[in-house]
Structure 1
Amino acid sequence: MSLLRTESEERKALIEVSSYDVTLDFTLGDELFGSRTELAFDCRTPGASTFVELIPHDVTSIVLNGTVIGQSAVRDGRLWLDGLQEHNVLVVEASMAYVHDGEGMQHTVDPEDGRTYLYASPSSSSAGRIYACFEQPDLKAPYRVRVKAPEDWRVIANGAGTDTRDGLHSFAETKPIATYFFTVCAGPFAVQTGEHDGISLGIYARATLAERLREQADEIFTVTGQGFDYYHRVYGIRYPWGKYDQVFVPEFNMGAMENPGCVTFRDEFIFPGRASRAEHLLRAVVVVHEMAHMWFGDLVTMQWWDDLWLNESFAEFLAQQCTAEATEFTEAWVDFSATRKNWGYAADRAPSTHPIAGSPAPDARAALENLDGITYPKGASALRQLAAYLGEDTFLAGVRNYLRAHEFGNATLHDFLQSMSAASGLDLDDWSRGWLLTAGTDVLAARVDGDTVTIERTTPADRPAQRPHVTDVAAFGGGIELGRADVRIDADRTRVHGLDLGASPKLLVPNATDRTWAIGALDEAAQRSIPDELPAISDPTVRGVVWSALLNGLALGTVDPATALDVFDAAWPHEEVEPLLEAVAMFASLFMPGRYFSPARTPSALERIARTGRTVLELEGISDSRRLTAARLVARTSADVSLLRGWAAGRDLPEFLVGDDQFRWSVIGRLASLGEVDDDEIDSWQEKDPSVSGVLRAIAARTRIPTEAAKAAAWARLTSSDRPNSHELSAVAANFFGHSDQQFTRPYVERFFEELPQLSGTLGDMLLHLLTREGFPVSVVEQRTVELAERALAGELPAGVRRSFVDGTSSLREHLRSQERFG
């Protein structure tokens, strides 16, 4: 039973938590672990009743203030407590079940060496699967933790380790933290240690990644140190959590989690093969994103889940800024424009769009539904606008005041805006109403009006809002910047001052520095000019904004896919900013074929994309990272079986890719899609690469084979697993519906909408939402798919599944509209 907001308010008014003392025993086998919780709390109304969250396998004993409580007090995931005193001590001993879907105490076995790894992932409503607790964000308390584990294991927790004897690990008491930040990681982890500015640092990963960890630790330590220096300067408050460990764990459902003192990451961030600069940049952004939370989210925590956006939006904003200003990855904002913002624009035009703030979260699980492109990049863009609106110094003064006023406590959007108003002297109600409390994205179009330029702002008709934009506009001709001017847009038509064109521009780019959240409109004349203009524009941010306008124009039905492909052919080989190069390549190869291009037109589109990739691959004097991006593009799109076979065997490859298992699997995956490899051959490749990555890549390749037998086997794995593995299921879901195998997958479209929701009884909410989102048959661009989705939406669905179906159906309609108009 998910905690209701009304219940959390009643419980907050009744009790105050003093401390947790948690002991976990990981020596009981592969199914269960022991959990003992001693919970001290005060009750403001003695004699009252309340409950703690507890989802045990079996209860050993429950004692409240010295009185034994019967097991019948545990019902529907709650332990009910009656007759509370002013000061209370609850002691619960139980055996708990390990989980395999990432929501609770995750148990994972590395297939490469058979060794076990554990980590606690409480999410918003799973802490009760690990220990007895008051599971809501505004009942924070200090933790003392002890863990019994096999003697050859390392154990990492929020607090620093203080003692280890006979396999019993003890940890220092933490500062007050919320239940969803509690974690323990245990297993035969490899470790690299360091120190920065008096802060003890540790980086952990599976033993089979020890060599890779050793090779990559210096870069992670460097980014970590740069992050600490930046945040100490920005926040004006030293890191408050003692030591700082970063644990790269297997089968993690999220990208990372900001547990104070013990951040957990997907272990794919310890790169198993050659990685592009874009991948290194992404890892740096994620590292400093989680670090930003140590203050904004951990030190000051939201009062309830409806303000989760503030934690994530702020960390997203500061992570981009920190990466761009404090690390070697100065192109972070360009990457944000090309990748993160386009994710957000798609979310904001979907029927499931919602305001950045103020979205109702009636229960704890509902919070997870809005962890999307609105909460992250749109929220970050709004905060970037707020900084521009108020001025950087004033904005930071407000942030520091907010943190100092609420440190180790909880706060709300109202508290944040109060701090900003106090720092600036401005009433921010109107700004907040337009930016934070109203959904939708404005469209900006720049027009030449005589000898002046006018910006036309169009707000969504069904969500009118007054959003001021602090931004700019730039004019180009022959790739040369003819002029640029700052502009503050607070009306539907705004005349731009200070832009002396001097010549007739071929291309006008509103929001050229990408400071605001708005889609740039491209008329037909501008679209015709882009193949010539874009390759010659020297400013990478402008190039990113133009690409974004093209890609969103595809979705809005204002840009012909053939035009976008012409631009790709003309401009992509000249792109030198590698994250932008990679972002455009991913969109061109994964989203346009079979979606914006019909099945009949897809083979020729793929051929052109592959040819462009080979053009870059054969250029002289380019970086290995650019060459890697080009090689991956060719591997995803080429139908040249002879070339792909040679690459799989290690022939005719760039030298740096010889022996790279990850690249080889990309090639094998494409051969599988073409029907050129079978199960036996995939088995032989997996024998050469028994790693976790190899297992997942092999599953993906088998799923992509275009035969009835392969699809039947993959579907059975997805829907009938007795012991589901989250990453293996994700590998099946993400690769099941392709654009070239529809004669075999079309019968499964109806089954997708009928059978996937039924997995809610066996899979966690987060995993099921992930599978239905990644597996949605968005490439089967047919009216029948829309009708089946609508039929499913007319019935009862788990909340996360409904959100996936709504968003997937919206994308399908975009693809259908484009194919009908331009196909």
Structure 2
Amino acid sequence: MPGEDPTGGLTAAEAAARSAVVSVTSYDVTLDLTGLPEGEYFSSRSIVEFSYDGDGGPGMTWLDLVADGADHVVLDGVALDPGEVVRGDRVRLAPLGGRHRLEVLAWHRAGSGRGLSRSADHAVYAWTQFQPFDARRAFACFDQPDLKATFAFEVRVPLDWHCVSNRQESEVVEEGDVAVWTFPPTPPLPTYAAAVCAGPFHVVRSDRGPVPMSLCARRSLAGALERDAEEIFELSRRALALFEDAFGIAYDGDSYDHVFLPDQPGAMENHGCVTWNDQVLYRSEPTAEQRRRRALVLLHEMSHMWFGNLVTPRWWDGLWLSESFADWAALWAAAQLGVLDSRWSVATALEKERAADADLLSSTHPVSRPVPDIAAAEANFDAITYAKGACMLRQLVASVGEDAFLEALRKYFAQHAGENGSLRALITAVQPFTEIDLSAWSRVWLESSGITTLTLDVTDTGVTVVQNGVARPHLVSIGVYGGAPLAEVDRIDLRVAEPRTEVPALSGRSTAPLLLLDDRDTTYALLRPDPRSVRTLVAAGTELEDPLARNTARRTIRGLLLDGPLPAAEVVEYVASSLTTETDPVHLKALTSLGLEAAGTYATPPQRESLERKLAAACVAALGSADSAARIVLVEALADCADTGDQLQLVDSLLADSEVPQLIRWRLLTRLVALGFADSEQIDAAEDRDADPDAVWQAAAARAAMPIATAKDVALDRLLTSPGVPTAVLRTFGPALWQPRQTVLLTARATEFLGRLVPFAHETDWFAAARVVRYAFPATAVSEPFVARVHELAATSELAPILRQSLEDQAEMAQRALAAQRLTADGQVR
């Protein structure tokens, strides 16, 4: 809530002490949401059955509660004074022992992305987001993951509202102008996996498969929901069957629902009631890349029914046990179900890139590490916990064997179903299936931070793999390529564990045009080839036929860009030559993203226009032979780099092309606006034509790109005035505001951004401010003095860890870009 103490919350020590003496049996929760259509407040009635079993005799305990007021607290039939027992964010109970029944009546204000939220479209929708510590914002509870219990909800809503929770409703009763929805008890769940969603949803149902399923979305998105419903249902049914078979335990819910919401920060694995940001209901026919992303999220959240809900981490230091596994399981399942096809290699490469980006920052941390309190836990939802952990698990599976690993998981789930898991419990389950010392493996890969750099040292006399950083065991391949076109003539597989590893098998190959390190994509490391191989990759990397090799080549080149030894111009040259030969649309998307990153963030200001022009020319040339899927990727790239008159004329013509998705047409228009080739009248006309309920925000992003002071001031106010810009729009709104060719206009406003950020955090919350920093940080007018001011702000003692880390990360990435620009200003490979 606004103004909350950033250091508040629950500590690991407090949680451990409480769970040592408290066990919770059940929650019976009534939520009255009938006031939300016209106001911000709702009420809760929480009945908690629990036991206090302290060996030291009766003692004091507490429940967690964030409320604007509590009217009624009754313990075992005895009324307590709310003014005495409800203090701060806790319901404090005097010394007690044995079994108890506590009833708390409270009233709350609906939040924005935390607790129970209220979203307004043409109608009002209410929904919950409880992870990691926000169930207490909706009802009184023991809000920590290891105190699992059953949840039975009764929800009072207007008559025309539909309600969804973790189980199928058992009864809906009308009481005048109110509908009362009753849901039976769930299996034992952590508080964060409970959920209630309500509103005048458009609902699509399916009774096929092992459990009934439904999809819910705003009525204004009924068309998109109906179009995509069968695709989502079919993948859900197939995935549920796959996971049940792979994990050896049937899904323990009686239904499985997807609820699509306008302000959900991303997606959440509530048991049997997964919530999503409704931007995944694409307003036009989804592209291959959009389908890939949506499928991976669906599989990630579904795997949580086992990783997280069935077996729950004891505390937030075990968050990776849920999230890393869910990321791994999503990629594995996508490959099993044919969702990724040849794109499996692209997906894993992108996962490694995301992890490596985070590992290069000073905020990096071990995948598995102690988490002292909730504030630290909130900062732990990052690419290390998700993507890096998944990369580690993929390596473990490769070492142990997929069949053996799945058998170990079945053992793990059978032993800990309904209870709590831990790193030690997982290692114990897997260890019998491998000769690898998993405790030692865990210390090196999971419990230490940072990323190793593997460098190929090539001399006239031989080849050596040099390992810098923490020495870890790697299974790595080196492909030898030559000829025209470039083709693999040999490959060496070897184990690397020491700082230097000689490769005698390559002693006669030191003059080969290309020695591609990790060309089978078998390890997690930064890759540094020899200079000859780098030159070959830039000049002829497009000739590589194998998808794994092409991904390794792109990942290698991107790593060289980020570190500065490869100038942006060389990277754009590589991407431009690749666009006409790449056939996989997902890999093509990765290539265009790399080109835009090089031409924007890592190019010196004088270079940017010419590099964007070159990239755009390559996109236009590739359009001539592109199929429909590739064409969309290339058109989307043009929205960020089109520059010359002919290119802008093409962009203008694409605005009327109905085969181009509407969101991409908005981005094309934004490009024209930013360069002064379109104005507010064209934005108004586009908004009038767009039936999307969120068109107002796409239009706002386009106006933010206008090269005039008033437009920038309005955009900055939208960004930093409560309630702010919706999360799903930030990724578009931020780049539109901070246009790279508007430096003079934006320099002072970048400083203003920093000055207004903390007041905005107090007005909304620390999560909202951190999202703004992550997605809408000033990317223009970045200089050494500006970066210094960011560091100063991050050092402010009042900041919550999640905002401090976001600021530090952005400052470091800006410093990295400035360093790369300085090192490569002469355009020479270093």
CA distance in 2, matches of 1:170, 1:208: 27
Residue 650 (structure 1) shift: 5.7
Matched, 1:393 2:393: no
Residue 267 (structure 1) shift: 0.8
Matched, 1:186 2:192: no
**Hey, what does 2:611 align to over in structure 1?**
605
- For 1:165-204, list aligned pairs within 5 A: 165-166=173-174, 167-195=179-207, 197-204=209-216
Unaligned runs of 5+ in 2: 1-7, 826-830
Matched, 1:634 2:638: yes
1:534 to 531, 541, 549: 541
1:138 to 143, 146, 151: 146
**Hey, what does 1:123 align to over in structure 2?**
131
CA distance in 2, matches of 1:8, 1:550: 46
1:327 to 338, 341, 347: 338
Task: Tell me the alpha carbon deviations over residues 442-478 of structure 1, each in whole angstroms, 9 at most, x when there is no partner.
Answer: 122345566875433222xxxxx33111232222123
CA distance in 2, matches of 1:319, 1:497: 39
CA contact (8 A) 1:475 1:501 kept: no
Q: Secondary structure at the match of 1:438?
A: coil
2:556 to 536, 549, 555: 549
CA contact (8 A) 1:341 1:373 kept: no
- For 1:105-254, list aligned pairs within 5 A: 105-110=116-121, 114-166=122-174, 167-195=179-207, 197-254=209-266
1:509 to 490, 506, 516: 516
Task: Tell me the alpha carbon deviations over residues 215-236 of structure 1, each in whole angstroms, 9 at most, x when there is no partner.
Answer: 1122212221221232123212
Q: Secondary structure at the match of 1:40?
A: strand
CA contact (8 A) 1:482 1:502 kept: no
CA distance in 2, matches of 1:268, 1:652: 22
CA contact (8 A) 2:73 2:104 kept: yes
AA at the equivalent of 1:314: F
**Hey, what does 2:5 align to over in structure 1?**
none
- For 1:7-26, list aligned pairs within 5 A: 7-26=14-33
Residue 428 (structure 1) shift: 1.8
Residue 81 (structure 1) shift: 1.3
Matched, 1:790 2:776: no
**Hey, what does 1:36 align to over in structure 2?**
45
CA distance in 2, matches of 1:502, 1:640: 45
Residue 521 (structure 1) shift: 0.9
Deviates more, 1:622-631 or 1:439-448: 439-448
CA distance in 2, matches of 1:612, 1:722: 41
Residue 25 (structure 1) shift: 1.3
Unaligned runs of 5+ in 1: 460-464
AA at the equivalent of 1:706: P
Deviates more, 1:324-333 or 1:138-147: 324-333
Q: Secondary structure at the match of 2:605?
A: coil
Residue 550 (structure 1) shift: 0.7
CA contact (8 A) 2:670 2:736 kept: no
Matched, 1:697 2:698: yes
- For 1:582-621, list aligned pairs within 5 A: 582-589=589-596, 591-619=597-625
Residue 338 (structure 1) shift: 4.2
Matched, 1:820 2:822: yes
Task: Tell me the alpha carbon deviations over residues 246-273 of structure 1, each in whole angstroms, 9 at most, x when there is no partner.
Answer: 111111112x111111111111111112
Q: Secondary structure at the match of 1:82?
A: strand
CA contact (8 A) 2:480 2:509 kept: no
Deviates more, 1:667-676 or 1:809-818: 667-676
AA at the equivalent of 2:90: R
AA at the equivalent of 1:625: A
AA at the equivalent of 1:738: Q
Structure 2 length normalisation: TM-score?
Answer: 0.93
Deviates more, 1:669-678 or 1:164-173: 669-678
CA distance in 2, matches of 1:730, 1:618: 30
CA distance in 2, matches of 1:728, 1:448: 48
Residue 527 (structure 1) shift: 2.1
CA spacing shift, 1:452–1:370, aligned 2, 3 Å: same
CA distance in 2, matches of 1:482, 1:737: 47
1:292 to 303, 311, 320: 303
Matched, 1:27 2:34: yes
CA spacing shift, 1:338–1:779, aligned 2, 3 Å: farther
Matched, 1:373 2:383: yes
Identity %: 30
CA spacing shift, 1:450–1:593, aligned 2, 3 Å: closer
CA spacing shift, 1:652–1:79, aligned 2, 3 Å: closer
Residue 191 (structure 1) shift: 2.2
Task: Tell me the alpha carbon deviations over residues 263-321 of structure 1, each in whole angstroms, 9 at most, x when there is no partner.
Answer: 11111111112432111111111111111111111110100001101211111111111
CA contact (8 A) 1:356 1:439 kept: yes
Residue 744 (structure 1) shift: 1.3
CA spacing shift, 1:634–1:288, aligned 2, 3 Å: same
CA spacing shift, 1:448–1:727, aligned 2, 3 Å: closer
**Hey, what does 1:310 align to over in structure 2?**
321
AA at the equivalent of 1:682: I
CA distance in 2, matches of 1:305, 1:764: 21
CA distance in 1, matches of 2:343, 2:13: 41
AA at the equivalent of 1:361: V
Deviates more, 1:207-216 or 1:729-738: 729-738
Taking only aligned residues, the RMSD between alpha carbons, in angstroms, comes to 2.2
CA distance in 1, matches of 2:208, 2:506: 47
CA distance in 1, matches of 2:647, 2:521: 40
CA distance in 2, matches of 1:437, 1:548: 25
Residue 633 (structure 1) shift: 1.1
CA spacing shift, 1:782–1:601, aligned 2, 3 Å: same
CA distance in 2, matches of 1:178, 1:490: 41
Total equivalences in the alignment: 806
